[in-house]
Amino acid sequence: MQVCASCHGADGNSAGGAYPKLAGQHPDYLVKQLKDFKPQPGARQPVRNNAIMTGMAAALSDQDMVNVAAYFAAQAQKPGYAHNKDTVPLGQKIYRGGVADKGVPACASCHGPTGQGIPSQYPRLSGQWTEYTVAQLNAFTQGPGARNNNEAMHAVASRLSDSEIKAVADYIAGLH
């Protein structure tokens, strides 16, 4: 846990947006993500390509992953907040209603009206750092080689403009 805590915080509340808040995240989702950082038999690279996390996950057994996930899931997430009041209306529109003319569904349709997600299927988003969410949405837009472990998110994120990504990420940070 000490190794995880150096980036994600001892209680799963990272100190800044470079690293995600893991506190209160669904344990099955955390296990899946940890496994996605490990190259699978016959694969040259993991489906989530991150040099730091690939090295960290490589040292974990399947039981270690379950234990780490259970620990962080049991922690209380510190609430976040939106930083830019000017983009909150756009972020809320995208989160709650999507962008119909671009074929972007509402984020809430999978992640729930308050961003709690659906255990093992969709992660909790509420209160996540704006910077981290922007980075992940941008990685999804790049597809293979960046973050290619969710084809649906690749399709959705690739239809959003930079300003829409920033607005919805900031809205998510303040979602409760």
Give the residue ranges of the annotated binding site.
4, 7-8, 53, 107, 110-111, 153
SS (H, E, C) the chain: CHHHHHHHCCCCCCCCCCCCCCCCCCHHHHHHHHHHCCCCCCCCCCCECCHHHHHHHHCCCHHHHHHHHHHHHCCCCCCCCCCCCCCHHHHHHHHHHCEHHHCECCCHHHHCCCCCCECCCECCCCCCCHHHHHHHHHHHHHCCCCECCCHHHHHHHCCCCHHHHHHHHHHHHCCC
Positive or negative, the Cα torsion across 160, 164, 168, 169? Answer: positive
Torsion, CA 99, CA 101, CA 105, CA 107, rounded to 10: -10
Annotated binding residues for heme c, as ranges? 4, 7-8, 53, 107, 110-111, 153
